[in-house]
């Protein structure tokens, strides 16, 4: 249980982020829902959590913009004083063949998926209590088995896995755990081009030992485990949550 804990989930207005926010709240945590542009969706999620007996609030910030990260955590500090959990969920993927990759797309994906994650973690741990805290980084199966047409995105998630390990080593003496969660193909708005294509859907189903694609709740349950005391001996690891799907 996470009663008495406060968690910030980036990119939490929909998809996996929203499922994580709901799950952490169900486990007793107070949740801060970060969003970039989907104010209505974030507001709806906050109301839903409240109706279920939880406590949640939303704060707008673009985690790819360093000034927004500073503003986000300044507001968290002013309003709440401290954090116990950070879930670095916000991310962006821009499919492109090598000939289509542009400097702008490289910068955009690394700015959010890597730089934003690192700067958000830097800001968050300053708000963690002396007793420690937990950082969860959302990775991807693409970090180990690069996704066709997504070389830049796959590279950012490889960097996330390295950061998870490096930050765990640095922050361990402060009793701060850093855990990676690597979803397989999961049905969300962001994967609709793949999951709604019957041929591709059937292909990935055929590659899954469990015979289905992932759901946001599948990922959220593992995140809730990762931030709980039940995983107190886990840090620096990236947990694969893919139903056995490889490639």
Residues labelled as active-site residues? 153
Question: 107 near 115, Cβ under 8 Å?
Answer: no
Helix ranges (H only) for 61-116 are: 66-80, 103-110
Greatest Cα-to-Cα distance within the chain, rounded to the nearest angstrom: 52
**What φ, ψ does residue 105 adopt, rounded to 5°?**
-70, -35
Q: Which residues contact 28 (CB under 8 A, 6 or more apart)?
A: 1, 2, 3, 4, 5
d(CA 135, CA 86): 5
Kindly state the tokens that stand for 69.
């990260």
Kindly state the tokens that stand for 68.
């927004």
Kindly state the tokens that stand for 84.
């116990």
């Amino acid at each position: 249980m996470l009663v008495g804990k406060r968690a910030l989930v980036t990119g939490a207005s929909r998809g996996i982020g929203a499922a994580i926010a709901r799950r952490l709240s169900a486990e007793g945590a107070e949740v801060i829902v970060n969003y970039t542009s989907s104010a209505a969706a974030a507001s709806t999620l906050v109301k839903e959590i409240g109706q279920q007996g939880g406590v949640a609030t939303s704060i707008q910030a673009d985690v790819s913009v360093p000034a927004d990260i500073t503003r986000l955590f300044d507001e968290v500090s002013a309003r709440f004083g401290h954090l116990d959990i950070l879930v670095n969920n916000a991310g962006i993927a821009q499919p492109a063949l090598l000939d289509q990759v542009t400097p702008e797309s490289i910068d955009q994906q690394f700015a959010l998926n890597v730089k934003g994650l690192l700067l958000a973690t830097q800001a968050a741990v300053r708000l963690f209590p002396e007793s420690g805290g937990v950082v969860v980084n959302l990775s991807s199966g693409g970090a180990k088995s690069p996704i066709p047409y997504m070389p830049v995105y796959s590279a950012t998630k490889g960097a996330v896995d390295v950061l998870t390990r490096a930050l765990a080593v640095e922050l361990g003496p402060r009793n701060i755990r850093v855990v990676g969660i690597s979803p397989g193909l999961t049905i969300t708005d962001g994967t609709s081009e793949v999951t709604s294509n019957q041929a591709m859907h059937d292909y990935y189903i055929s590659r899954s030992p469990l015979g289905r694609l992932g759901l946001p709740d599948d990922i959220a349950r593992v995140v809730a485990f990762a931030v709980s005391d039940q995983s107190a001996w886990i840090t620096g690891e990236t947990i694969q949550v893919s139903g056995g799907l490889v490639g």
